[in-house]
Amino acid sequence: MADGNELKAGDATWTGFAQYEGLGTALAGGHANLDAVNDLNTRGGGDGEDESSKQYLEQIGVGMPPLTDTLKMLDLLITQLGQNGQDVRKIFGDAEEQAALLAKHWKAAGGEQ
């Protein structure tokens, strides 16, 4: 019977962590699209020689970097979370293997007959 001090992770946990890789890939694709939009915006704004061009370039210069930075941060966080989840899964797997091996040796040594 569990005493409330057990740490368990079910299949849903591992499935969730496995999905972070796909999210990271999607964010990377979104980042590439955002880079293309930034490039189009900059080229579409002209060379900044007239007033309209200057105003347009000023607006995108202020608006686009925070969006780009946010997407970069999300990409990094999702990638790290996915990797950390895989690391935790390995630790759990290793712990289960070690527990089974210790139980086998304990029984072989005469424990719980």
pLDDT tens-digit map of 46-79: 888 889 888 888 888 888 888 889 888 888 888 8
pLDDT at 1: 45
* Rounded Cα gap, residues 72 and 76, in angstroms: 6
What is the structure's pLDDT at 4?
A: 63
Report whether 46 contacts 53 (CB < 8 A): yes
- Region 84-97: what's the mean pLDDT? 85
Which residues contact residue 37 at a Cβ distance below 8 angstroms, ignoring those fewer than 6 apart? 64
